[in-house]
Amino acid sequence: MSEKALRLGTRRSKLAMAQSGQVAEAVSRVTGRPVELVEITTYGDVSREALAQIGGTGVFVTALRDALLKGEVDFAVHSLKDLPTAQPEELVLAAIPVREDPRDVIVARDALKFMDLPRGARIGTGSPRRMAQLNAYARTHGLDIETVPIRGNVDTRIRYVRDGELDAVVLAAAGLNRIGRSDEVTDFLSVDTVLPAPGQGALAIECAADHADLIAALGELDDPFTRVAVTAERSLLAALEAGCSAPVGALADFPPLSAPLERGDPQADGQIVKEMRLRGVVGTTDGTRMVQLSTTGPVPQTHEQAMALGRDLATEMLAQGAAGLMGERAQ
């Protein structure tokens, strides 16, 4: 180990440590250098307030970025959905690896599926986006549910179900997969039912913009399909002027290879992917008012093309009243 270890900045949560550990192994392979994890506590980790109240944008990110800018770490790993859409000039997203499953899942008592939950079922989630779409789906399909705001890590959330306080909780499939707890999922929510958060399931590897050698090395881990997809999703979010705690869902995928690509299936041959579909949704948390639109076009070949796709769909959504729905997110 003649070369000095690279320092990877990560949040302290079990999920953050798991995904950072996986990235550390990959970075060590492509650089030939050891990687050590540097644990950093963020404001979002210590605050007990609801994310919508503390303005979810950046609360899990700022401390990591500060450590990067001070040179205390060489690179950082974020859950992409936590990143503000505005990118600081001094930092660069050197790699966005192959995306994990972007779907939301249910962990329910008695191994119940979403459609089999009893009348009046209490479903826990801290996400206005999930609340809006679950309530809208329930409203249109004759289901009787109550969405209950919760915070906490995966253990805390699942314990609400195990202890009988809630009938079910909604979590991200990617997170449970990364910590080896996907066997606790009782139902996968189709993206036709609940669109995920922009960037959900994807990781962002960020470093200082002046570290050219490190940027080049980290770039080996970049997946071009994931990058154009999440760029379009985040462009939609930015054009709606919504933070990551707003009730906005978005997903860019590549029909008919969406499922294998999203799960990192090596048999998903990029050569035959011709089109990318972008879907977006905004709604009031009670599910009474929703704007949901989609667009399909050639797979973007540049960052700007991906950005334009998101901006254009956001413009259509705003024309249909999306701004007024987001304005009610604090209620």
Instruction: State the catalytic residue, choosing from 11, 99, 103, 129.
Output: 129
Query: Residue 225 has which token pair?
Result: 């399909």
Strand segments, DSSP code E, in 128-177 are 145-148, 168-172
Asked if residue 212 belongs to a domain, the reply is yes
CA distance 26 to 47: 32
Are 48 and 4 found together in one domain?
yes
Q: Residue holding tokens 């949560």? A: 13
Confidence of residue 251 (pLDDT cuts 50, 70, 90): very high
Report the pLDDT averaged over residues 246-271: 68
Asked if residue 38 belongs to a domain, the reply is yes
Q: How many residues does the chain have?
A: 331
Are 321 and 229 found together in one domain?
yes
CA distance 301 to 305: 7
Asked if residue 194 belongs to a domain, the reply is no
- Give the pLDDT confidence of 99-128 residue by residue, as tens digits: 999 999 999 999 999 999 999 999 999 899
Q: CATH number, domain at 58?
A: 3.40.190.10
Question: Domain span at residue 275?
Answer: 223-330
Is 157 an active-site residue?
Answer: yes
Instruction: State the catalytic residue, choosing from 157, 178, 234, 329.
Output: 157
Instruction: State the catalytic residue, choosing from 99, 103, 130, 178.
Output: 130
Are 167 and 108 found together in one domain?
yes
Are 125 and 161 found together in one domain?
yes
Is 12 an active-site residue?
Answer: no
Asked if residue 60 belongs to a domain, the reply is yes
Are 41 and 162 found together in one domain?
no
CA distance 234 to 55: 17
Is 81 an active-site residue?
Answer: yes
Instruction: State the catalytic residue, choosing from 65, 99, 207, 244.
Output: 244
Confidence of residue 55 (pLDDT cuts 50, 70, 90): very low
Instruction: State the catalytic residue, choosing from 11, 65, 74, 82.
Output: 82
CA distance 83 to 78: 7
Instruction: Report the number of distinct structural domains present in the chain.
Output: 3
Residue 231, Cα to own-chain centre: how many angstroms?
12
Q: CATH number, domain at 285?
A: 3.30.160.40
Asked if residue 276 belongs to a domain, the reply is yes
Instruction: State the catalytic residue, choosing from 14, 151, 181, 277.
Output: 151
How many degrees, rounded to 5, is the angle at CA 171 between CA 40 and CA 203?
A: 45
Are 228 and 277 found together in one domain?
yes
Are 239 and 315 found together in one domain?
yes
Instruction: State the catalytic residue, choosing from 11, 65, 81, 329.
Output: 81
> What is the overall mean pLDDT for the chain?
88
DSSP three-state, residue 93? strand
The neighbour count for residue 115, using CB atoms within 10 Å, is 10
Asked if residue 196 belongs to a domain, the reply is no
Is 207 an active-site residue?
Answer: no
Check residues 47 and 290 and name the one with the higher pLDDT.
290
Are 256 and 272 found together in one domain?
yes
Distances (CA, A) of 189 to 97, 147, 258: 23, 15, 15
